[in-house]
Amino acid sequence: SFFANEKTHQQMSHFGRGETVELIKLASQRGKTVITEIIATGIKNGNGNGKDTKPVSKPDEVIKPDIPSEDKLFELMLKSLGDSIRMQKLLESKIDVERIGITLFIARSRGNLSAVA
């Protein structure tokens, strides 16, 4: 379901505007039915005066690996995923960035680019 149930709305009403909230969806199976529950928790440190304890990523934030890699496949995967993100922004649509990135990676790693040129 795209909309939160009444219990989740009740949990969210305890947080103020601008607070960072983490939603965790738990699923348990009872017989053949799957029961889901959403838990809302605030992301803050103990006294409320410091920074968040968990890093919150922003959509436009670029994550760069700390480990220098000499692996060509690693670099190829980074390039493919980067290209798929650029493609999503260019097309202004909700395409599946992960699938397109993997598809580009497979095509590039196999060397099947002669059909594209």
Task: Tell me the pLDDT tens digit for each residue of 10-68.
Answer: 888 888 887 887 888 888 888 888 888 888 787 765 555 555 555 555 555 555 656 56
Domain ranges for the chain, please list them: 1-56, 58-117
pLDDT-derived band at 117, boundaries 50, 70, 90: very low
Count of alpha carbons within 13 angstroms of residue 102, beta-carbon side: 4
Residue 101 has pLDDT above 50, yes or no: yes
Find the mean pLDDT for residues 71-92. 89
Q: pTM for the whole thing?
A: 0.39
> How many CB atoms neighbour CB 103 within 10 A?
13
Find the mean pLDDT for residues 79-105. 90
